[in-house]
C-alpha cells in the first residue's frame, strides 16, 4: 500500500544531495547567522500581521538573538538584542509611526534589558565554549603524540634542563 500513491519505482534524492553540496561551503557560524536572519524576518512578519502587545510573538526574537550571539560573541549578541528591540517596536508601532519616545517607556526598557542580556550571556558562553574546545583539541593532539610515540623525549629533557638551570642558558 502506498501512503501517497506514488507510482514511481525509483525515488530520487537528487534534491537532498544538491542541498548538502550547497551547504558544504557554508561554515556553522554562517549557518547560525542565516538561521538568525530567517527567524528575525519571520517574527517581524508575524508581528506585522498579528502583532499587538500581549500575544507573546515578540519572544520569538530570543531565538534569533541566541542564534546570532552563538555565532559571534557577547558584543554582537548585544547588538542582536538591540536590533530585536528595534524590529519589535517598529512592528508594534507600524500604524502610528516609530518615534524616539517609544523606546523610553517601561516595557521597552524591560525588553531592551532582556534582549541585550540574552545576547551578551549567550555570546559570552559561546565564546568560552569555543576557547575550551580549542584547548581540549590541543591537549588531545599532545596526548595523541605521546600515545603514538611521536614525542622527541631527548629534546624535551634538554628543554627541561635549560629551564631548570640557574642562568637559563
156-167 pLDDT per residue, tens: 788 888 887 777
For residue 6, tell me if it sits in a domain.
no
For residue 21, tell me if it sits in a domain.
no
How far does Cα 47 stand from its chain's mean position? 23
Statement: the pTM of the whole predicted model exceeds 0.75: no
For residue 18, tell me if it sits in a domain.
no
Which pLDDT value is given to residue 168? Answer: 56
For residue 73, tell me if it sits in a domain.
yes
CA distances from 15 to 12, 18, 20, 38 (A): 8, 5, 9, 21
Residue percentage of the chain with pLDDT more than 90: 43
The pLDDT-based confidence of 98 (bands split at 50, 70, 90) is low
> Are the CB atoms for 116 and 155 separated by under 8 Å?
no
For residue 116, tell me if it sits in a domain.
yes
Task: Please name the residue that has the C-alpha cell 622527541.
Answer: 152
For residue 156, tell me if it sits in a domain.
no
What are 46-85's pLDDT values in tens digits? Answer: 999 987 767 889 999 999 999 999 999 999 999 999 999 9
Residue percentage of the chain with pLDDT more than 70: 86
Structural domain for 46, as ranges: 27-150
Q: What would the 3-class secondary structure string for the chain be? A: CCCCCCCCCCCCCHHHHHHHHHHCCCCHHHHHHHHHHHHHHHHHHHHHHHCCCCCCHHHHHHHHHHHHHHHCCHHHHHHHHHHHHHHHHHHHCCCCCCCHHHHCCHHHHHHHHHHHHHHHHHHHHHHHHHHHHHHHHHHHHHHHHHHCCCCCHHHHHHHHHHHHCCCCC
What are 104-139's pLDDT values in tens digits? Answer: 788 888 989 999 999 999 999 999 999 999 999 988
User: Mean pLDDT for the chain?
Assistant: 84
- Total domains in the fold of the chain: 1
For residue 19, tell me if it sits in a domain.
no
Which pLDDT value is given to residue 1? Answer: 46
Distance CA 118, CA 113 (A): 8
For residue 12, tell me if it sits in a domain.
no
Amino acid at each position: 500500500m502506498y501512503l501517497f500513491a506514488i507510482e514511481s519505482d525509483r525515488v530520487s534524492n537528487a534534491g537532498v544531495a544538491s542541498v548538502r553540496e550547497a551547504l558544504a561551503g557554508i561554515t556553522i557560524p554562517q549557518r547560525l547567522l542565516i538561521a538568525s536572519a530567517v527567524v528575525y524576518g519571520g517574527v517581524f512578519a508575524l508581528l506585522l500581521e498579528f502583532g499587538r502587545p500581549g500575544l507573546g510573538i515578540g519572544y520569538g526574537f530570543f531565538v534569533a538573538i541566541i542564534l546570532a550571539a552563538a555565532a559571534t560573541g557577547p558584543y554582537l549578541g548585544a547588538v542582536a538584542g538591540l536590533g530585536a528591540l528595534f524590529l519589535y517596536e517598529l512592528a508594534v508601532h507600524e500604524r502610528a509611526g516609530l518615534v524616539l519616545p517609544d523606546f523610553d517607556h517601561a516595557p521597552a526598557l524591560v525588553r531592551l534589558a532582556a534582549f541585550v542580556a540574552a545576547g551578551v550571556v549567550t555570546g559570552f558562553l559561546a565564546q568560552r565554549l569555543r576557547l575550551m574546545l580549542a584547548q581540549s583539541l590541543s591537549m588531545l593532539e599532545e596526548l595523541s603524540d605521546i600515545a603514538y610515540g611521536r614525542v622527541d623525549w631527548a629534546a624535551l629533557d634538554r628543554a627541561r634542563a635549560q629551564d631548570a638551570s640557574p642562568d637559563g642558558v
